[in-house]
Chain A
Amino acid sequence: MIEFEMPKPIAKQRYLLQTVAEEMMRPHSRYFDEHEHEIPWDYINFMHQALQAVGAGSLAPSTEDGGEEKEIEEKKKKKYPPIGNQSLAFMLETLSWGDVGVYLVTPGGSLGAAAIETTGTPEQRKKFLARYQQEKPAFGAMAMTEPQCGSDTSAIRTSAVLDTETNEWVINGEKIFVTAGKISLEDSDGLVVVWATIDPAAGRAGMRPFVVEAGTPGVKVTKLEHKMGIRASDTASIVLQDTRVPFENLLGSPEIPKKETKGFKGAMATFDATRPLVAATGIGVARATLELLKDLLSQQGVTIRYGLPRQKLSSVERDVIDMEIMLESAWLLVIKAVWMTDNRKPNSLEASMSKVRAGDIVTKITQKAVEIMGPLGYTRDHLLEKWFRDAKITDIYEGTGQINRLVVARNILGYRGSQLR
């Protein structure tokens, strides 16, 4: 079947989240933009309560212990197709419509939990994700980027060496650009999933994710970045110096297969799940921008005449209509990609396409909106200029537009990394 009906549970959830976005996020958008690194505890505490109440402690879609395949099969039989990632995409879109910087400090595991969900065993999921069901809000982060490597994540130098006497991994290295790194390690009982190599000679095959919990000795936040936008969210540098974690904190298997590059594939599988979700946050910013733009234009007497040939439209009308096409089609790419995640269909191509498109359109839409509104767009009286600044990160984090183009290109050409560098 081909259908585009929003599932009922999502519609219900969305209505509630819209209220949160309107009442708890928007009124404080400007404040948290201008008070960088101040933590929006009111929003955090509210969301923590709300998420506990609906049993969604971690932002990652929950899977029952031990039998996700079975669970999905059973759900299929009952004619309840799985919608966890779809639901999450709508949630992230709506909260980012409210304020994407504030959304990024929503309690729950975020990308850290997503990595645990994707690459961890049932025992690991149970052990590490339990913290998101506790009384106090907790956060999670993923640490991949290092000072000398950004997009080329297979070149990471952070190392993990097994101390066979204590059966602990000893991690050393430096991570930068860790979204929510500080709030995960210092301001809550959270965790960071740190990617490190267990065999530098093995290249990508040696890469493994390690759970580093808050309070672990030897891990330190050394710097907070000052950014163009999403200022409510901390972007931290983390130094790991002889940081010891138990053997079980390695997600997945320590075996290094001879041919495959499973370790890195773990990271890539995580990206297939998370890229459409990050794209969804960009969509939220784009929708916020387009709605406000149309409101402001309407206040100045401009209505958009749909259905006319382009030749009869004003330049502003053409721009707005093109923006709607960009927004809606990009959102549909996101929905299809998360629908594939939910239905366990391989979606590396679709995930990256959704991210490419979302990164493109949210930057174009926010830039054009500021241009169209002229002096009203450029002033801090409105949020348009803030969303312009917030939007740009969508095209950078979780794989830049260029990295995602590479992924798309390799997929459609059937090329490996060595064939298309």
Chain B
Amino acid sequence: MYAFEPSDEQKMLIDAIQRYSTNDLRPAAHDADEMSQLPGDLVEKGWEMGVLQASIPEEYGGFGDHSAVTGVLAAEELAWGDLAGAFAVLTPGLFALPILLSGSEQQKEKFLPQVIEAEWKPYTAALVEPRFDFDPNDLDSIASENNDSYLLNGEKVFVPYAADSEALIVYAQLNGKTQGFIVPAETNGLEVGDRQALMGINALPLYKIKLDGVRVPKHNRLGDQPDHDFNAIIDASRVAIAAMGVGLSRAAFEYSRDYAKDREVFGVKVAQKQAIAFMLAEMVTEIEAIRLLTWEAAWMIDEGKEEASKHAYLAHTGAMDMAMMVTDRAVQILGGHGYIREHPVEMWMRCGRGIATFTGLAMV
């Protein structure tokens, strides 16, 4: 059957996140972006809503089952509040979810409870590499077999909280395939570089790291042996980023819609001009179209459908264009005011371009 209404349980979660996004993330977003820092207790408060905890089974310290559909609903609401804050709250998932999806039983038992049962801690992951045509399935970072371990060499960028991390999953190419490796922060050869300054999501601390012969014992290869499925991981990231693009775009749409209803021009509200009203109509249509595409991809993931990977890719690709289109128009609708940092739309536009590039920065 087709159905388009979240379950009661999902609605409760969405409501809780909406309150957090409205009362905590959104009011903090502007200053956090200017100061490149999130307020101290903000992330912990978001963590306590239990988005990640609810997708980890009880036996590993959580209180629910993994659902990509629930995940995309949550990710959209968080990103509606603030994209950088949303990434921060979801960061431990970058470590826990690959272990849940592709890890060995032993890895799940060892690592999941220590992430899930504690307060928010910077467990993270390193996927993105500094090249224009970065491709998660064709990495420059190389893992090579060396007796009872692997040696990792390469360079990574956009690693959230790398400087303070407890442990991270590093992705590298092993015999032509992308594989994950569990690396404690204190490992030799793991060099955390400078914090990166970006066009947007300034409040999220992102670092470059260098892998200089990082030795990973074989039992810390994700899934142990043999090759684990990287598709499940990249799919979960693609739908998460797509959903966050939807949330971000919704925020920009709503703000520009309300502004247009308030702003007078030639004796009427600017929203009463078709030139503006039609822009808004196209924005909302685009957002709804990509939201449904994202929901469908997430549902396919949950159902184990063969086409899930393709659809997660389509949803993310659609979302990158949608986010740019919507956030650009939001700035345009505010005119000169849209360009001023007092209004959030310029920040959302800077964030909007990132949707194309943020694969690997969140998972659901």
Q: Which residues between 1 and 29 of chain A lie within 8 Å of chain B, taking CB atoms?
A: 1-7
Taking a contact as CB atoms under 8 Å apart, the answer to whether A332 and B280 are in contact is no
Taking a contact as CB atoms under 8 Å apart, the answer to whether B280 and A412 are in contact is yes
B173 → A minimal CB distance (Å): 16
Taking a contact as CB atoms under 8 Å apart, the answer to whether A336 and B285 are in contact is no
Instruction: Tell whether A1 pairs with B282 under 8 Å between CB atoms, given A406-B277, A409-B277.
Output: no
Taking a contact as CB atoms under 8 Å apart, the answer to whether B277 and A420 are in contact is yes
Q: How far is the CA of A171 from the CA of B108 in the complex (A)?
A: 77
Interface size on A (CB < 8 Å)? Answer: 45
Residue from B7, B313, B356 with most neighbouring chain A CB atoms (10 Å): B313
**Chain B CB within 8 A of A311 CB:** yes
Which residues on B sit within 8 Å (CB–CB) of A267? none
Q: Name B271's closest neighbour in chain A (CB-CB).
A: A413
Which residues on B sit within 8 Å (CB–CB) of A6? 2
Q: Pick out which of these stretches binds chain A: B99-107, B131-139, B202-210, B344-352.
A: B131-139
Taking a contact as CB atoms under 8 Å apart, the answer to whether A413 and B280 are in contact is yes
Taking a contact as CB atoms under 8 Å apart, the answer to whether A409 and B280 are in contact is yes
Q: Name A321's closest neighbour in chain B (CB-CB).
A: B317
Q: How far is the CA of A190 from the CA of B271 in the complex (A)?
A: 45
Q: How far is the CA of A412 from the CA of B281 in the complex (A)?
A: 8
Q: Which residues between 263 and 289 of chain B lie within 8 Å of chain A, taking CB atoms?
A: 271-272, 274, 277-278, 280-282, 284-285, 288-289
A236 → B minimal CB distance (Å): 32
Majority SS of interface residues in chain B?
Answer: helix
Instruction: Tell whether A4 pairs with B281 under 8 Å between CB atoms, given A329-B289, A332-B289, A413-B261.
Output: no
Which residues on A sit within 8 Å (CB–CB) of B160? none
Q: Pick out which of these stretches binds chain B: A179-187, A241-249, A284-292, A302-310.
A: A302-310
Instruction: Tell whether A2 pairs with B281 under 8 Å between CB atoms, given A321-B317, A325-B318.
Output: no
Q: Pick out which of these stretches binds chain A: B32-40, B84-92, B295-303.
A: B295-303
Write the A346-376 contact mask toward B (1 if CB under 8 angstroms, else 0): 0000100100110000000000000000000
**Chain B CB within 8 A of A163 CB:** no
**Chain B CB within 8 A of A335 CB:** yes
Chosen A-B contacts, 5 in total, with CB atoms closer than 8 Å, are A1-B5, A3-B1, A308-B137, A353-B288, A409-B274
Taking a contact as CB atoms under 8 Å apart, the answer to whether B282 and A356 are in contact is yes
Write the A309-336 contact mask toward B (1 if CB under 8 angstroms, else 0): 1111000000001101100111011011
Taking a contact as CB atoms under 8 Å apart, the answer to whether B314 and A328 are in contact is yes
Q: How far is the CA of A335 from the CA of B296 in the complex (A)?
A: 12
Which residues on A sit within 8 Å (CB–CB) of B288? 333, 350, 353
Give the contacting residue for A412; candidates B284, B289, B314; CB below 8 A.
B284
Taking a contact as CB atoms under 8 Å apart, the answer to whether B289 and A333 are in contact is yes
Residue from B7, B137, B293, B309 with most neighbouring chain A CB atoms (10 Å): B293
Taking a contact as CB atoms under 8 Å apart, the answer to whether A336 and B4 are in contact is yes
Instruction: Tell whether A405 pairs with B281 under 8 Å between CB atoms, given A332-B296, A333-B289, A336-B292.
Output: yes
A371 → B minimal CB distance (Å): 19
Taking a contact as CB atoms under 8 Å apart, the answer to whether B281 and A408 are in contact is yes
